[in-house]
């Protein structure tokens, strides 16, 4: 996988204590990379990062806020990384309504701090800024958005990520000649074991099931293209490798979404989780009154054509792998770390594009 490209590479990863960041940290260490993490403490209990003791596998794990530019720059300087993955963010739509200032500060100024900190360290060759599929001006259209479609965002979170995209584009063009190669990665609706964040459909289902409570769904007819966590992470890893090896050609935005048959309603997802878990009841609750997208697709033709990347798992496979992980956790499996590594191994064997790269 990746032809041992990551072996002994120094990688700086923001947001490494989060759900996706934890999985990426684990995969990078499996690939032989020397990982330096910078993030706040995990914001859920339990957390994927703590349960699998991922911090013990890293070269260094720094607890810090990306708004603390001095501490951040010191951490990057000490790491002397060759590759930077920026995942730290305020990632929740509903929270952005409650804390708009924090959302903009973290997702825009925080991103600027990471970009600038990396530029001051001359070892950095490749930078992947992870944004979201929600950075587009969503017109609820029944076709996938392309990378050159209009950016925007109805809610504060989405618009802050659109700003991060604009900032990255400007930064890349301004400093291309004397800096690193920068690309943005747009993905969303990621599922997988170890996510305990609020207002995410599968974590909400798992919590309710294990408490013996009904699963209350606000928008059961909302349609999302669901993807297993390793799908976008494989894309980030591939994109960083391409940036490192070929530079300017890949310094642009890319969409990373699931296979075309992976769109289901929120209600359908919840019912599938109950069926796989063996228990649980889904009911429709009152809507929050806050705007949430009803329909959002990504067009991934560019990623397939330029990077050779495509989604590999069906929605049923993604949900099954997710629910099985939670079953192992709640059954107090002492081999959860090995089970998680086996999921990565299993995924690597299924990737059709890996042989082409």
- In the prediction, which pLDDT does 350 show? 84
77-125 pLDDT tens trace: 999 999 999 999 998 888 999 999 999 999 999 999 999 999 999 999 9
Does pLDDT of 233 surpass 60? yes
Helices (H) then strands (E): counts for the chain: 13, 13
CATH architecture of 8-356: 3-Layer(aba) Sandwich (3.40)
Average pLDDT value for residue range 335-345: 96
271-281 pLDDT tens trace: 999 999 999 99
Q: Would you say 184 and 168 are in contact if contact means Cβ atoms under 8 Å apart?
A: yes
Does pLDDT of 289 surpass 60? no
Question: What's the chain's average pLDDT?
Answer: 92
CA distance 86 to 329: 28
- In the prediction, which pLDDT does 97 show? 93
Higher pLDDT, residue 24 or 224 = 24
Confidence of residue 282 (pLDDT cuts 50, 70, 90): very high
Q: Would you say 195 and 48 are in contact if contact means Cβ atoms under 8 Å apart?
A: yes
Collapsed DSSP state (helix, strand, coil) of residue 247: helix
What are the backbone dihedrals phi and psi of residue 320, each rounded to the nearest 5 degrees, phi first?
-60, -45
Collapsed DSSP state (helix, strand, coil) of residue 229: coil
Q: How far is CA 194 from CA 158, 168, 207, 307, 336, in A?
A: 24, 30, 12, 29, 11
Q: Which pair of tokens denotes residue 72? A: 């951040």
Confidence of residue 189 (pLDDT cuts 50, 70, 90): confident
Does pLDDT of 22 surpass 80? yes
Collapsed DSSP state (helix, strand, coil) of residue 185: strand
Three-point CA angle 231, 236, 239, nearest 5°: 125
CB-CB neighbours of 338 under 10 Å: 9
Residue owning tokens 């504060």:
156
Nearest alpha-carbon partner for 189 in 90, 259, 97, 257: 257
The catalytic site residues sit at 157
Q: Which pair of tokens denotes residue 271? A: 């019912």
Collapsed DSSP state (helix, strand, coil) of residue 3: helix
Domain range list for the chain: 8-356
CA-CA-CA-CA torsion sign (281, 282, 285, 287): positive
- In the prediction, which pLDDT does 352 show? 73
Which residue(s) pair with 97 in the sheet? none
Q: Which pair of tokens denotes residue 284? A: 């429709």
Predicted TM-score (pTM) of the model is: 0.95
124-163 pLDDT tens trace: 999 999 999 999 998 878 788 999 999 998 899 999 999 9
Q: Would you say 60 and 270 are in contact if contact means Cβ atoms under 8 Å apart?
A: no
CA-CA-CA-CA torsion sign (186, 192, 197, 202): positive
Confidence of residue 68 (pLDDT cuts 50, 70, 90): very high
216-226 pLDDT tens trace: 988 888 877 88
Q: Which pair of tokens denotes residue 189? A: 């609706």
CA distance 352 to 339: 22
Does pLDDT of 356 surpass 60? no
CA distance 72 to 74: 5
196-205 pLDDT tens trace: 998 889 999 9
Q: Would you say 219 and 288 are in contact if contact means Cβ atoms under 8 Å apart?
A: no
Confidence of residue 179 (pLDDT cuts 50, 70, 90): confident
Q: Which pair of tokens denotes residue 157? A: 């979170």
- % of the chain surpassing 70 pLDDT: 94
Q: Which pair of tokens denotes residue 41? A: 């403490």
Average pLDDT value for residue range 37-43: 97
Tell me if the bond preceding 46 is cis, omega within 30° of 0. Answer: yes
Instruction: Characterise 178 by phi-psi region: left (phi > 0), alpha (psi -120 to 50), beta (else).
Output: alpha
């Amino acid at each position: 996988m990746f032809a041992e490209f990551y072996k002994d590479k120094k990688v700086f990863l923001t947001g490494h204590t989060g759900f996706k960041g934890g999985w990426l940290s684990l995969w990078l260490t499996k690939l032989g990379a020397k990982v330096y993490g910078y993030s706040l403490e995990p914001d859920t209990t339990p957390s994927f990062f703590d349960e699998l003791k991922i911090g013990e596998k890293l070269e260094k794990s720094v607890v810090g806020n990306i708004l603390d530019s001095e501490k951040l720059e010191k951490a990057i300087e000490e790491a002397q990384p060759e590759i930077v993955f920026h995942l730290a963010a305020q990632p929740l739509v509903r929270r952005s309504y409650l804390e708009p200032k924090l959302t903009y500060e973290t997702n825009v100024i925080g991103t600027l701090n990471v970009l600038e900190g990396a530029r001051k360290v001359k070892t950095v060759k490749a930078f992947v800024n992870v944004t979201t599929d929600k950075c587009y001006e969503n017109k609820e259209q029944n076709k996938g958005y392309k990378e050159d479609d209009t950016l925007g965002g109805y809610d504060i979170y989405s618009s802050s990520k659109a700003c991060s995209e604009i900032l990255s584009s400007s930064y890349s063009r301004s400093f291309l000649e004397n800096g690193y190669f920068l690309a943005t990665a747009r993905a969303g609706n990621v599922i997988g074991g170890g996510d305990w964040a609020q207002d995410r459909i599968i974590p909400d289902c798992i919590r309710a099931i294990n408490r013996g409570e009904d699963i209350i769904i606000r928008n059961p007819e909302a349609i999302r293209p669901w993807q297993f966590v390793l799908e976008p992470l494989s894309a980030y890893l591939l994109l960083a490798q391409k940036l490192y090896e070929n530079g300017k050609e890949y310094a642009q935005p890319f969409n990373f979404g699931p296979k075309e048959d992976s769109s289901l309603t929120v209600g359908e997802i919840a019912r599938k989780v109950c069926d796989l878990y063996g228990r649980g009841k889904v009911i429709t609750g009152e809507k929050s009154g806050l705007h949430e997208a009803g329909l959002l697709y990504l067009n991934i033709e560019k990623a397939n054509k330029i990077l050779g990347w495509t989604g590999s798992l069906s929605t049923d496979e993604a949900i099954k792998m997710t629910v099985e992980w939670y079953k192992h956790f709640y059954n107090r499996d002492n081999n959860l770390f090995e089970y998680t590594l086996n999921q990565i191994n299993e995924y690597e064997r299924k990737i059709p594009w890996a042989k082409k790269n």
